[in-house]
Structure 1
């Protein structure tokens, strides 16, 4: 879901990007692909101190390119959720740097970080996090309402059409199935046209049919709406919807796979768990 902040934090994007460091570019020939949608560079994340310190991420470097669907996988405790939280600015790194496009997250104030998340990042979590007293439409537009912005009508209609929510906009969450509620959460994440959408186990609370619907929506958001999607998942079937799978173990990236299938991902995970 998109984490909304208080109405008082509504200054424009330029303020959110003041004094930003310029990201190292990956190409100089095409401005559309000048920067990855998100990037981690030599990221280390430790919890605790001295003898009790636990290193969740160990010198992780990875790019997430625009217009691509990436899944992050790994055994329990591998650091996959920690990596996503650091990329999304929900947690800080111990060392290294994290970038969203050309903006370094290092040194951003809480206010600027909140603005960056609201303006440039979408979230879809395992819990739908819908406001029960609001309709589906009101839930979808809530982050923009808080920011004092109006949705682009044409983009709103395109998102609603792609997600198949046209006949559900007046319903409250209690009147929607789990799959429909997660569709509303996806629409909320997409409505602000974020640079990147992060999903932390987005199908974890859904049955297989609803999971397939939501994964298809995320896939279509990349193919049809040109979004960039990164999910953390333990489900090989979910990972098979991605263009690329990154595998973590013990806080390090140990492998990646292009054009995954559920069977190939499952075999890879079995090998990792035997290490």
Structure 2
């Protein structure tokens, strides 16, 4: 009997995980090890911030964990679905049906309304939105009076709210966010971070966010720190000052090498 790997039940408590994850770019003189044996689990209904200096591997970790990039070795799981066992079609289904994405660029289609952009992934999957869930998401991000507007009629912050709502609309197992406030001013960025945090507290969502900003990390339940492609520290209930202290120590160690 053939078992559909997408039908496997997930391990309670773990939304996504990597084991001995390695990612190498190039070869010989141009060889760069972006990730060096990273093992980490992301708990359900938890907001995790991935921190570290530029070039430390944090975006590579997120992209591999989300199935957007292929690791050189090691394993990546969403629940108990091992992404390395999936063909391209199955991997596309996982990304479409079980994951949500928020990027620094809003990636909205300019000809669609806010509501159409929010529900686009569901439409492409041939799924009708859960109306009650969609209404909760829209209310949480404060878009109820903007659903008929196109992106050009929205501010940058409103466009990123649309992107957050789009990521949440399909009730994904995990939302992966890569520098989601990078193109926003401080006030608007704080609002978007609040929406991501509220999605965890109010909707039970799992969020994994890459950021270099200690203030952004303070919205998370947990912060993990990378340096030279390795996990070097972890913090529960991060605050801006504690995060900054860890990053300064990491910078000092790097400068001493």
Q: State the TM-score bracket (shorter-chain normalisation).
A: over 0.9
Tell me the equivalent position of 1:17: 6
Partners of 2:28 and 2:189 in 1: how far apart? 42
Structure with greater proportional helix content: 2
Structure 2 equivalent of residue 270 of structure 1? 248
Match of 1:152 in 2: 130
Residue 223 of structure 1 aligns with which residue?
201
User: Of residues 218, 237, 257 in structure 2, which corresponds to 1:259?
Assistant: 237
Q: In the aligned structure 2, how far is the partner of 1:149 from the partner of 1:59?
A: 38
User: After superposition, where does 1:120-135 map in structure 2 within 5 Å?
Assistant: 120-135=98-113
TM-score scaled by structure 1?
Answer: 0.88
Corresponding residue pairs, total? 251
Q: Could you tell me which residue of structure 2 aligns to residue 85 of structure 1?
A: 63
Tell me, yes or no, if the aligned pair for 2:5 and 2:81 is still in contact at 8 Å: no
Do the aligned partners of 2:50 and 2:225 also contact (CA within 8 Å) in 1? yes
Rounded Cα–Cα distance in structure 2 between residues aligned with 1:249 and 1:166: 42
Q: Secondary structure at the match of 1:224?
A: helix
Moved over 4 A (4+): none
- Matching of residue 38 in structure 1 with residue 16 in structure 2: yes
SS in 2 for 1:106: helix
Q: 2:155 aligns with which of 177, 181, 186?
A: 177
Higher alpha-carbon deviation: 263-272 or 181-190: 263-272
Q: Within 2, Cα distance between the matches of 1:113 and 1:50?
A: 30
Contact 1:43 1:98 in 2 (8 A): yes
Partner of 2:182: 204
Give the gaps of 5 or more residues in structure 1.
1-13, 26-31
**Which residue does the alignment assign to 1:59?**
37
With normalisation by structure 2, the TM-score equals 0.94
CA distance in 2, matches of 1:257, 1:195: 23
The residue that corresponds to 2:143 in the other structure is 165
Tell whether the 8 Å contact from 1:16 to 1:116 is kept in structure 2 after alignment. no
Long gaps (5+) in structure 2: none
Corresponding residue SS for 2:223 = strand
User: How do 1:98-113 residues align onto structure 2 when only pairs under 5 Å count?
Assistant: 98-113=76-91
Query: What's the Cα RMSD here?
Result: 1.5
